[in-house]
Structure 1
Amino acid sequence: MALPLAPPLPPQLARSRSSLPDDGEVWAYEPKWDGFRCIAFVDGEDVFLQSRSGKPLARYFPELSFPAGRYVVDGEIVIFNAGGGTEFDLLGQRIHPAASRVERLSVETPGTFVAFDLLARDDETLLELPYIERRAALEALVAEPLMLTPMVLTAAEAEPWLHSTEGVIAKERAAAYLPGERKGMAKVKRVRTIDAVIVGWRPGKAEGTLGALILGLYTPDGDLRVVGHSSGFTAKQKRELPDQLAPFESGDRGTGDASRWKSDKELEWIGLRPELVVEVTFDQVSDGRIRHGAKVARWRDDKAPAECTVDQLDS
Structure 2
Amino acid sequence: MRPMLATPADPDAGLPADGDRWAYEVKWDGWRVLADVNDGAVRLWSRSEREITAAFPELEAIGRAHPDVLLDGEIVIMARGVPSFTALADRIHLTDRRRASALAARNPATLIAFDALRMYGVDLTERPWQERREALERLPASGEHWQLSPVYDDVDVLLEATREQGLEGVVAKRRTSAYRPGVRSSDWRKLAHRRVQSVLIGGWRPEINDRNQFGALLIGVWSAPGVLRFAGRMGSGLTGAGAQADLRRLLTPLQLDSSPFAETVPRADAKGATWVRPQVVVDVRHLGRTENGRLRQPVFRGVRSDLEPEDVRYE
Report the TM-score, using the length of structure 1 for normalisation.
0.61
Contact 1:162 1:189 in 2 (8 A): no
Residue from 285, 288, 297 that aligns with 1:295 = 288
Q: Which residue of structure 2 lines up, in the alignment, with residue 21 of structure 1? A: 16
Q: Distance in 2 between matches of 1:29 and 1:211?
A: 32
- Show CA shifts across 1:75-98 (max 9, x none): 0111112x2112212222112243
Contact 2:19 2:153 in 1 (8 A): no
Contact 1:202 1:211 in 2 (8 A): no
Letter in 2 for 1:123: G
Residue 10 of structure 1 and its aligned partner are, at CA, apart by 1.0
Q: Give the secondary-structure state (helix, strand or coil) at the position aligned to 1:291.
A: strand
Q: Distance in 2 between matches of 1:53 and 1:62?
A: 20
> Is 2:42 the counterpart of 1:39?
no
> Is 2:56 the counterpart of 1:57?
no
Letter in 2 for 1:45: G
Residue from 183, 188, 191 that aligns with 1:185 = 188
Query: Cα RMSD between the aligned structures?
Result: 3.3
Q: Distance in 2 between matches of 1:203 and 1:108?
A: 34
Stretches of structure 2 lacking an aligned partner (at least 5 in a row): 196-214, 221-229, 256-264, 270-282, 291-315
Letter in 1 for 2:121: D
Contact 2:36 2:42 in 1 (8 A): yes
Q: Give the secondary-structure state (helix, strand or coil) at the position aligned to 1:90.
A: helix
Contact 1:202 1:269 in 2 (8 A): no
Residue from 90, 93, 97 that aligns with 2:90 = 93
Q: Distance in 2 between matches of 1:156 and 1:10?
A: 30
Q: Which residue of structure 2 lines up, in the alignment, with residue 144 of structure 1? A: 143
Quote the sequence identity (%). Answer: 33
Query: Which is higher, the Rg of structure 1 or of structure 2?
Result: 1
Q: Distance in 2 between matches of 1:38 and 1:187?
A: 17
Letter in 2 for 1:109: N
Residue 124 of structure 1 and its aligned partner are, at CA, apart by 1.3
Q: Which residue of structure 2 lines up, in the alignment, with residue 112 of structure 1? A: 110
Q: Distance in 1 between matches of 2:216 and 2:57?
A: 43
Q: How does 1:153-302 map to 2 (within 5 A)?
A: 153-160=153-160, 161-163=162-164, 164-183=166-185, 184-191=187-194, 212=232, 226=236, 262-263=247-248, 264=251, 291-295=284-288
Q: Give the secondary-structure state (helix, strand or coil) at the position aligned to 1:147.
A: strand
Distance 1:191 1:68, change over 3 A: closer
Letter in 2 for 1:63: E
Q: Distance in 1 between matches of 2:152 and 2:218?
A: 46
Residue 37 of structure 1 and its aligned partner are, at CA, apart by 0.7
Distance 1:100 1:24, change over 3 A: closer
Q: Distance in 2 between matches of 1:22 and 1:114?
A: 24
> Is 2:61 the counterpart of 1:69?
no
Q: Give the secondary-structure state (helix, strand or coil) at the position aligned to 2:88.
A: helix
Greater than 6 Å deviation, 4+ residue runs: 200-205, 258-261, 265-270
Query: Is 259-268 or 105-114 further displaced after alignment?
Result: 259-268
Q: Which residue of structure 1 lines up, in the alignment, with residue 132 of structure 2? A: 134
Stretches of structure 1 lacking an aligned partner (at least 5 in a row): 1-8, 193-199, 216-225, 229-257, 271-289, 298-315
Distance 1:203 1:21, change over 3 A: same
Report the TM-score, using the length of structure 2 for normalisation.
0.61
Q: Give the secondary-structure state (helix, strand or coil) at the position aligned to 1:105.
A: helix
